[in-house]
Structure 1
Amino acid sequence: MEKFFSGKNGVGHLAVLAIVLVLVGCGQKDKEQKERTQPKVDNTQNAPIVITVPPIETPTGMVWIPGGKFVQGAKESDKMAMPHEKPAHEVLVNGFYMDEHEVTNTQFAAFVEETGYVTVAEREIEWEEMKKQLPEGTPKPHDSILQPGSLLFKKTKSSVPNLYDYSQWWQWGIGTNWKHPKGPKSTIEGKENHPVVHIAYEDAVAYCDWAGRRLPTEAEWEYAAHGGKQDAIFFWGNDLEQLSSHANTWEGEFPVENTLSDGYEERAPVMSFPKNGFGLYDMAGNVWEWTSDWYNTKYYAEVKAKSGVEYNPQGASRPYNATNPYAQEKIMKGGSFLCSASYCASYRISARMATSLDSSLEHLGFRTVLDTDMIKK
C-alpha cells in the first residue's frame, strides 16, 4: 500500500523526526451556456439540493457539478477496498463548481507573487512547536536535520519485502519545496502546467482564501469523481485494464521499477488523461488532493448508524486515528503516480488516506471548489 506515516499517508515536518528515528534505530462549457436555467432543487429527505447549473457564467477553469445522491464508501464489488472505506452510506450533496484540474505551478505562482506567501516547506522548523505533537521525552534531532524541506520519493535498488517500512523509499529533502520539487537544485521551469506539490494543508487553504474558494469536502470530492457513474469503482467504470490509459499511476514492481505504461515516471501535466463524466481531469492518480475533512476512523460507522441520508456532510467533528493519536490529520483523495495494484490501489474512487496538517510531499496537491453564494456579484 501507499501508506507510510501518520496512520495512513501523512508526512510533514513530523516526518523529519520519524524518518530519522527509523533510520537511526533501524466541450462541457458550451453545453452549460445553452442549458442555463434557474436552479432546480430535489427535496429528498426535506433537504433542498441544487442540481442544475445556476444562471451565471461558469468561472474560468471550473465545471459545474450538479448536486445529487450517491453512496459514499467502498462498493461491495471492490475487492481492493480497505476497512476505513467502509461501511458505505448514502449522502446528498449540493451542486458546486470544481476546478477541472489540479492547481498548477503557474496558478500557485500567481498567488505567491501577489501575496508574498511562504509555504510550510519553506519555513524554519520550530522544535518547541513540533514536540507538542510527539510523545513526551522524544529526543530532538540534530539541527542539521531540522531544516526546511519536504519529502522526496526514491526508488529502491531491489525488491522490498516489507511495504510498511516507508523509510525505504522516502527521504527528507532539505531545500525541497513547491519551487524546487526534486531538491534545491531543481526548478519548475518547463513544468508550469504540472500540479503544484509540496503543499501543506494551510498552504492549500491560504490559496483558497486568496482565490475566494475553498477545499472540497470528502463527500463532494468523491461524488464529483464518479462523474455520474454511481456504481463504478474507477471514474471510467469497473475495468482495471483501462488504468494506464486513464490515470498516471505506478505500473510495475513498487518501489523498484515503473514500466511507464501510462507514459510518465512522475507527475504528468494536468489534463494528460481523459476527463470523467462531469468534465474533471486527474480524479485518479497524478497527485493526491487535500479535502477539508478530518480523518476519523470511527466516522463512517457513526454516519451509517444514523437514520436517513447525510445532507452535505462536513466530515468528522474531530480527528481520530488509534494508530497515530498525536497527529492532526485531514483526508486526501485520488491517489498519485506512486499508487500501484500491489501498493494501495488508491486510484479507486472510494480510496482515502490520512495526512497530517503539516504534510508536504512530492505527490500531494489540491484543487478548489466554489459555491454559488461565494461568487462575487
Structure 2
Amino acid sequence: MRRIDGGTFTMGSEVYYPEERPLRRVKVDPFWIDETPVTNREFARFVDATGYRTVAEVPPDPADYPGLLPDYAQPGSLVFTKTAGPVPLTDYHRWWSFTLGADWRHPLGPGSDIDSLDLWDHPVVQIAYADAEAFANWAGKALPTEAEFEFAARGGLEGKEFAWGDELAPGGQMLANFWQGIFPFANTREDGWERTSPVRSYPANGYGLYDLIGNVWEWTQDWWSDQPLVPVKDKRQSCCTISNPRGARRKDSLDPAQPELNIGRKVLKGGSHLCALNHCQRFRPAARHPEMVDTATSHIGFRCVVRG
C-alpha cells in the first residue's frame, strides 16, 4: 500500500458528462491505498482462506427478481463480446451478455479459467460489491470513497483531465489500458491488450499508484447520485470545501428504470479497457458511473484503503 497524506483538491469536471459537475473543492484525510487493483492471485488467497463464494457463483433467488427467466436463475455474470460491426451505442445488449458459468475463476465463461489464460497478475473481475466488501473486511481494510479514489487517481496533479496531464496519449504513448479504435467492434490494441492487462503494465502516477485509470472499473463505497454533493443550495458551483464526502443516501441510488427490483447502485471509478474515444470517455479521474450492487462483469474489480 501507499500512504496518501490527504489534502484539498478540485473534484469533478465541467468538460465531459453532466454527472461529473460541478467542480467543487473537497478535502480528504490521510489514508493508505493499495498500489494496484486486487489481483486474481490475491483474491485466490482470500477464497482459499475463507471458502468464500462470490455472487456470480451462487444462483440468484427468484424472490429477489420478479419475472426472472429460468435461464437466468443459474450462476453466471455479464461478459463483454465484440460485435461484428457498428451497432447503436445506446443498446448495450449488443455487447453484454449474461453468461452461465462466468465468475472470477472463469471471467469469460466456462473454458476461460485464469490459470490457462495466465491471468494471475491481472485484476480480479466478475466481482459484485458484496464480494469486494467481503475481501476488504477479511484483509482488515475498506473500500475507498469516491473522493479518496479521485484524489489518489490525480496523483497530485490539479485540474488535469487525465491522470498524467491534459493529453490522452502524449506523443502516442499509451499510459493506461483503454480501447483504441472504434468501440465495440474494432480494437487496434495500440496498448497491447484486448482485455485486462497485468497490474503495473503502465507507469505509476505521482503517488506511486498503478491502474487507477483504465484496465478495470473499481468499486467505491459511495452510493450513487446523479449529482455530486455540493454545499450550496442552487447546486451550481461550490463556494466552500466539503470534508470527506461519503456519497448519497441509499434510497437516492435506486435505479428509476427498474423500481421493482429496489437494488441500490454504488459509484464506480477509473474507467476500464472498454472506454473509448467514441464511447464512454471515462478514462479520467473525474469520471464516475453507477453500478447495481448485485452486478458482476468482466471489467469490474476493486482495490482497498486503510484510513488514518
Q: How is 1:104-119 mapped onto 2 (pairs within 5 angstroms)?
A: 104-119=39-54
| 1:315 aligned partner | 247
2:37 aligned with 1:102 = yes
Aligned counterpart, 1:82: 17
Kept in 1: contact 2:21–2:227 (CA 8 A)? no
Distance 1:368 1:145 in 2: 31
Which position in structure 1 is the counterpart of 2:77?
150
Aligned residue in 1 for 2:164: 236
Q: Partners in 1 of 2:72 and 2:231 — Cα distance?
A: 41
| Whole-angstrom distance in 1 between the partners of 2:168 and 2:137 | 37
How far 1:366 moved relative to its partner? 0.1
Give how far 1:324 is off: 5.1
Q: Indicate the residue corresponding to 1:18 in structure 2.
A: none
- Equivalence for 1:343: 279
Task: Find out whether 1:181 has 2:181 as its counterpart.
Answer: no
TM-score, with length taken from structure 1: 0.76
Consecutive unaligned residues of structure 2, counting only runs of 5 or more, are none
| Match runs of 1:159-170 below 5 Å | 159-160=86-87, 162-170=88-96
CA contact (8 A) 1:289 1:366 kept: yes
Answer whether contact 2:104 2:127 (CA < 8 A) is retained. yes
Determine the structure 2 residue equivalent to 1:210: 138
Q: Alpha-carbon deviation of 1:241?
A: 2.8
Give aligned pairs, total.
Answer: 298
Q: CA deviation at 1:308?
A: 2.5
Q: Who is 1:56 aligned against?
A: none
Do the aligned partners of 2:221 and 2:267 also contact (CA within 8 Å) in 1? yes
Distance, in Å, in 2 between the alignment partners of 1:363 and 1:244 is 23
Paired letter, 2:165: G
Kept in 1, the 8 Å contact 2:179–2:187? The answer is: yes
Is 1:369 the counterpart of 2:297? The answer is: no
CA distance, structure 1, for counterparts of residue 119 and residue 3 of structure 2? 27
Confirm whether residue 63 of structure 1 aligns to residue 11 of structure 2: no
Instruction: Note the 1:272-351 alignment, pairs <5 A.
Output: 272-301=201-230, 305=235, 308-318=240-250, 319-320=252-253, 321-323=255-257, 325=259, 326-351=262-287
SS of 1:229's partner is coil
Q: What is the rounded CA distance, in whole Å, between the counterparts of 2:294 and 2:208 in structure 1?
A: 31
Q: What secondary structure, in the 3-state scheme, does the structure 1 residue paired with 2:135 have?
A: helix
- After superposition, the C-alpha distances for 1:282-317 in whole angstroms (9 at most, x for unaligned) are 111000000000001144356675762111111112
145, 151, 154: which is aligned to 1:226?
154
Whole-Å separation in 1 of the counterparts to 2:231 and 2:307:
27
SS state at 1:300 partner: coil
Query: C-alpha separation between the residues in 1 aligned to 2:232 and 2:6?
Result: 20
1:71 aligned counterpart, secondary structure: strand
Gapped regions of structure 1 (runs ≥ 5): 1-61, 132-138, 373-377
Question: 1:244: Cα distance to partner?
Answer: 5.1
Deviation at 1:191, TM superposition (A): 1.2
Q: Distance in 1 between matches of 2:232 and 2:246?
A: 11
Q: Is the 8 A contact 1:252 1:259 kept in 2?
A: yes
In the alignment, the residues of structure 2 paired with residue 128 and residue 285 of structure 1 have an alpha-carbon distance, to the nearest angstrom, of: 36
CA contact (8 A) 1:337 1:363 kept: yes
State the shift of 1:230 in Å: 0.9
Deviations 1:229-254 (A, max 9, x none): 01111111001233752010111011
Structure with greater helix percent: 1
Match of 1:92 in 2: 27
The whole-number CA distance in structure 2 between the counterparts of 1:317 and 1:291 is 14
* Counterpart residue type for residue 56 of structure 2: A
Distance in 2 separating the partners of 1:148 and 1:371: 35
Alpha-carbon distance in 2 for matches of 1:159, 1:344 = 16
TM-score (norm 2): 0.93
Contact 2:38 2:303 in 1 (8 A): yes
Corresponding residue SS for 1:245? coil
Aligned-pair CA distance for 1:124:
1.3
Specify the structure having the higher radius of gyration (Cα).
1
Contact 1:219–1:313 (Cα < 8 Å) also in 2: yes
What's the CA shift string for 1:24-83, capped at 9, x where partnerless?
xxxxxxxxxxxxxxxxxxxxxxxxxxxxxxxxxxxxxx1111110011111x4x3xx100
Query: Percent same amino acid among aligned pairs?
Result: 45
Q: Distance in 1 between matches of 2:205 and 2:152?
A: 9
